[in-house]
Amino acid sequence: MQGLNVITPRQNSENASRSPIGDRKRRVREVRIGAVTIGGDYPVAIQSMTLTDTRDAAATLEQIHRLEEAGCEIIRVAVPDDEAAAALPAIKRGMSMPLVADIHFHYKLALKAIDAGVDKIRINPGNLGGEERAKVVTRAAREAGIPMRVGVNSGSLEKDLIDKYGGPTPQGMVESALRHIRFLEDEGFENIVLSLKASNVPRMIEAYTLMREQCDYPLHLGVTEAGPPSTGIIKSAMGIGFLLANGIGETLRVSLTADPVEEVRVGWEILKALGLRSRGPNLVACPSCGRCEVDLIDLTTRVEKAIAGLKKPLHIAVMGCVVNGPGEAREADLAVVGGKNKGLLMKSGKIIATLAEEDLIPALLEECEKFDVSDRPHGTPKLIASA
């Protein structure tokens, strides 16, 4: 396939050697989803899901391309009916990242999606209309050589498990996943990814943690129905971030009631904050205080916009005053430090210019262009893992 950003395992092992954050609790199997591999020493992959009507291939592709540009690495589309399944070949032809078909209830749609050449299917073997139908889908996936994600969701846990555990508990979710794993393994199918999503963050954390102790299949992390960005970002960062920091999780989807581009952006910020991967600049800014002599919120917003398109993994700081600013910006590759109608531009901890406020951002961008990240005087800043 053309134009794919194939991620190598080496990138992840380089990062892992720098920090105990994210160290694997146990070896996880590798699963290949098109050109992206998860598990093993591969880095955590970011995925999202389209919001468009899958039957409209052109609109779906337009959204997929925007998501790819934002850094999405695996994309899932809902396949609710025959017309959506019929659009899959055109969607697949028009894109380069791996395509996942999301199937519920209709085993024939799963077969059509596999025929269309999707790279993975997301199913729940328990809702495909009986064991025989689930076996047919499993056989077709095996013959096509594609993985299946078993998606356990606390909101749709089997009734007997809810009765047994007195509600949709983490233990019940794990037992449901183990049932599905046993079914697939009995069919000779081990190309499996698992998810155990809940909207309740502690429940989701416990479910994934228990699951990791029970099996070595890659885990797809997510807080389901996390809500709008104002709350959904926090829930996702807490749930997904906690698990990743503890070495659990091989791929993630941030679920937000928002443009899915925002899901991808937040996913990257979680990985960047933990130092697990890097993509573009990492911006830090002081919160401002009574010493600040510049409109720091405005300055930081303008810097954020100005550096948004940069690809280099630069560590950039925006500080509000010259009292603590230069010291706090010492670890940054580049920093702007606000002052009364003027500011400082810093590079690798040293002041390189004092400029009028309106000249700060253009000068910062010029230095961003020139900065060679492989030539940092003090090595990689501790907040950034190498790309």
Which residue type is seen at 345? L
Q: Which is nearer to ligand SF4, 214 or 301 (CB)?
A: 301
Paired tokens of 22: 């994210």
- Tell me the per-residue interface mask from 104 to 123 with ligand SF4, x by CB under 6 A, - otherwise: --------------------
Residue 62 or 304: the one with the smaller Cβ distance to ligand SF4 is 304
* CA distance readout (Å), 85 to 66, 103, 242: 22, 10, 36
Q: Per residue, what are the HEC states of 302-359?
A: HHHHHHCCCCCCCEEEEECCCCCHHHHCCCCCEEEEECCCEEEEEECCEEEEEEEHHH
SS3 208: helix
In the complex, the smallest distance separating the C-beta of residue 337 from ligand SF4, rounded to whole angstroms, is 8
Say which residue the tokens 């070595």 belong to: 216
Q: Could you give phi then psi for residue 67, rounded to 5 degrees?
A: -70, -40
In order, the DSSP letters of 28-43 are ---EEETTEEESTTPP
- In the complex with ligand SF4, which residue's Cβ is closer, 196 or 292? 292
Q: Does 287 bind ligand SF4 (CB under 6 A)?
A: yes
Q: Which is nearer to ligand SF4, 137 or 292 (CB)?
A: 292
Give the residue at shortest CB distance from ligand SF4: 320
Is 288 a binder of ligand SF4 (CB under 6 A)?
yes
Contact positions with ligand SF4 (CB under 6 A) in 325-354: 325, 328
Take residue 315 and report the two structure tokens written for it. Answer: 């560590």
Query: x/- contact string, 307-326, with ligand SF4 (CB under 6 A)?
Result: ------------xxx-xxx-
Alpha carbon distance 236, 341 (integer Å) = 39
Q: How big is the site for ligand SF4, counted in residues (CB under 6 A)? A: 13
User: Taking the complex as a whole, how short is the minimal distance between the CB of residue 202 and ligand SF4, in angstroms?
Assistant: 33
DSSP three-state, residue 387? coil
CB of 297 to ligand SF4, least distance (A): 12
Which is nearer to ligand SF4, 24 or 347 (by Cβ)?
347
**CA Rg value for the chain:** 23
Q: Which segment (185-193, 238-246, 280-288, 346-354) binds ligand SF4 by CB under 6 A?
A: 280-288
Cβ closest to ligand SF4, residue 293 vs residue 359: 293
Residue 5: Cβ-neighbour burial (10 angstroms; 0-12, 13-18, 19+): exposed
Considering the rule CB under 6 A, would residue 154 count as an interface residue with ligand SF4? no
64 scored as a contact of ligand SF4 (CB under 6 A): no
Q: What are phi and psi of 334, to 5 degrees?
A: -135, 145
Of the two residues 137 and 286, which places its CB atom closer to ligand SF4 in the complex? Answer: 286
Q: Is 300 a residue that touches ligand SF4 (CB under 6 A)?
A: no
Chain residues in the site for ligand SF4 (CB under 6 A): 286-289, 291-292, 319-321, 323-325, 328
